[in-house]
Structure formats: C-alpha cells, structure tokens
Amino acid sequence: MQVIDFHLHVGTKRHWTEWVVDFFREVNPTYYERFSEGITPEGLIAYLREQGVGRAVVLSEYAPRATGVVPNEFTASFCKGHEELIPFGSICLYEDTPVAEQAERAVKVLGVRGFKMLPTYAHFYPNDPSLYPFYEVAQSLEVPVMFHTGTSIFKGSRVKYGDPLLLDDVAEDFPRLKIIMEHGGRPFWYDRAAWLITRHRNLYIGIAGIPAKVLLQWFPNLERYPDRFLFGSDWPGVPDIKSLIERVLALPLAEETKERILWRNAAELLGL
C-alpha cells in the first residue's frame, strides 16, 4: 500500500521559532540530527520510503507569532521536480498584498496544490469575510484548504480561533471548496468536527495528532463516512511515521476504509 501522508513539515532552524526547534529536538532527535541543519528533497524522499510513505503533502507556514515562517517559495522550490512531494502554500495575513493575489500567485506561479491555514497561530477566525476572496480563488482553482483546528502546545497560540464550527460558514458559502479540518478539533471539539462532515460534503477530517486508539471513540461515524478522513503524521513533530501507519492498519475497520484513510481519499482530493 502506497501511503499518502497529508501533513508533513520541512524547514531548517532558521524557519522555526526557538521553542519549536526545542520541541523537535526533544520528540524527534533523529530528525534534529539528520535534517534540521539542511533537509534535502532526496533525503526526505528516502526517509519516507523507509517509513512506507509513497507521497507526502509538504506544508508552508506563516505564523511568526507562534511557530515561525516557512514561505511558499521555499516549499514550492523544495518540492519542484519531485512527484513524491506535493507542496501546499499558506496565506500571509501580515502583508499588504491582497489575499486573493497571494493565492493566485501561489498556485499559478509557484505551483502549490493546496493551502494550509493556521487560525490558532496567526490569530484569525476562519469565517472572517476578509478571507473570502482567498476562498473564492481556491474554489475556482479547485485546490483544497486545510485548517489547523483545536488546541496547540506552542507559545503564542490562541485556542479560541481553532473551533471547527467556524468552518460551517465557509463550507456553506463555498460549497465546491474542499476543506480539511486538521486534527479534528482536538480535544474540545471532536464532536463538532464529526457532526460537520454530516452536514457538508466538502468537509474532511485530518487525523494528524489524533492517537489511533481513540479514533473510533471520538469519530464513531468514521465507517459511515470513510471518504472524509485523511491520514497525516505531522512529522517531524512525531518520532516516526511507520508506527502511525501500523496503528491505523490495526484498527477494527474494513480494509477498504483503511485504504481510504491511508491513501485513496488523499489521491482523489489531489487529483492523483
């Protein structure tokens, strides 16, 4: 099975805030020793193969108040020429360039295949009307938008912005926009994320950061909506990826459901 990891970060020490670097050093010393000074696409692809991952979504990040800045240009350049690596951009809310213009350039010039937004880190409500021009562009260009939902351990984050219910407006107003609720609203709002996928066909749940052993406890409707869940590791924020895959495979789910979570849903969402 060629797993698609829908949630992976790259960058070097210069991209991340000090506390994020310390976090990586603690939870993933192998990454810190092997990659933190200068990760390469070839090195990452080799590591992913070791872990049983065929392709990965590589995320940009604009969150200087919390985690740091990994620019769209860096991510796009890192992934260029490597079909195993799928670049996702982000929108910077701290510059004068209109959000729609940023999105157009990211897709049409840089070649990103989707976007990752971090409300809890960048301190914004996802249903803020000022973001609607961005959503309009993403919808028209048929690229998905991922949102960090739920809590965070990092300094500078504000949990109130992570409520998945804020995406109800966005999903309703942009019915053709594919929206991923990453982390499923952990841990306060699992129930809201689970309910929202029953209301909106364009909403998905990313399971990065959710222990597999509680997945069915918090999302009892998973088997009813097997086409709405996406595997992601949040590497290098975890020691390895292979063990996460094995835990999903060990769940009491139909084989087709496991395939959907681990790669098929991602492939369909990305048009692979």
> Mind listing the pLDDT tens digit for each residue in 33-79?
655 567 899 999 999 999 999 999 999 999 888 888 899 999 999 99
Span 199-209, mean pLDDT?
98
Q: Give the pTM.
A: 0.94
Q: Tell me the pairing of strands 179-182 and 145-148.
A: parallel
Number of domains in the chain: 1
**For position 80, which CATH number holds?**
3.20.20.140
pLDDT-above-90 percentage for the chain: 78
Question: What's the chain's average pLDDT?
Answer: 93
Residue span of the structural domain in which 238 resides: 3-270
CA distance 218 to 225: 14
